[in-house]
Amino acid sequence: MGFSGHLVFARSERPLLEAPLFGSNGLGLRDDVHEWQPRPGGWQTLQLEQGIWEDEHLSTLVEWTGAPACVADVSDSSIALVAGLDTNGRRWQAWLNLDHAAALLVAEPEDVDDVSVWMATPEFEEAIGHKRAELDAKVPVDAEGALMWASAAGVQTAAQQPRIEELLRTQETFVEELFDALLDELGFPEAVHSAPQPQEATA
């Protein structure tokens, strides 16, 4: 099994786990936490395997750190929805591994009794194609939002929007690696050591 959980990326002079968000509030967000290799400048990534991440948690984290932050909602290491927020309240989001995301998001016809049978039909493949095109059409806006967010974070990036769009359309076996590559490409300082390896959940 791959990793399912959340990747939280933010900047702080203190360990992110000291944020009140991760305290004893019943959310369970401190359970099964893996800290990725930190990046210079106080940028940190937490890999949370348990706990419920609500939308307002991101704004709570940005308020505590005083810096832009983002979170990736990961499913089985194959799909991630990344949501970012800056200190002015501007948000952006983007799907990673669009092919897998399209298969997840495609709507089932109301008259389908057996989903597994429908998934073996040409109609299912056609529906995925339409959903994939729909997601692809949003990539330019997603890439622009990501670049504006990185700029608000104070990083200097040489990346142009077409390169970010290309990355958002890339497929990786482990979506965690794609998330890390996106942060690199956006101009955040790279971790001193090698990129973190995905932490696979035990069966």
Percent of the chain with pLDDT over 70: 87
pTM: 0.86
pLDDT tens digits for range 39-77: 999 999 999 987 678 889 999 999 999 999 999 999 999
Residue type at 53 in one-letter notation: W
Q: How large is the average pLDDT for residues 134-160?
A: 92
φ, ψ (nearest 5 deg) of residue 162: -55, -35
